[in-house]
Amino acid sequence: MLVAAGRREEALAAYQKSLGIREKLVAADQGNTQWQTELVVSLYKIAGFGEGRDANLNRSLEILRRLDAAGALSADQTGWITAIEEALRQTKSQRRARRGGHSSRCEENDHCSDVRVHWALSSLHFGH
């Protein structure tokens, strides 16, 4: 809601606070799949602000792949893997385009590559 109200800095701070809490919860119980998937969502949301985008998306992907290998993800959550891989590919493609002097509409809108990931992650319900 903060983002929709144009209060991006406050939204980022809230997501970062949420990330800190979720990291502590996961550290306390690494077997808790729900906390790990909520950590993935926090990492994704912060990446959407451009904060450590690649690092946060790669960390999300690492967590999801580990959970998937353990058979701990729902069908919807398994789809997050492909969506985040696609977001990383698009980010890499945008960087190549910038280095080559080409511009694209996505360069003007950092969030356009996130549309697919957003829809994939939208199935998670937040109780916080």
pLDDT score of 77: 95
pLDDT in tens, 69-106: 999 999 999 999 999 999 899 888 877 777 775 544 44
Please indicate, yes or no, if residue 38 is contained in any of the structural domains.
yes
Please indicate, yes or no, if residue 52 is contained in any of the structural domains.
yes
Q: Which residues of the chain have pLDDT under 70?
A: 101-128
Please indicate, yes or no, if residue 67 is contained in any of the structural domains.
yes
pLDDT score of 113: 45
Dist CA 61 CA 80 (whole Å): 8
Q: How many folded domains does the chain comprise? A: 1
Dist CA 108 CA 89 (whole Å): 17
Tell me the pTM: 0.76
Dist CA 104 CA 87 (whole Å): 15
Please indicate, yes or no, if residue 100 is contained in any of the structural domains.
yes
**H/E segment holding residue 97:** helix 75-99
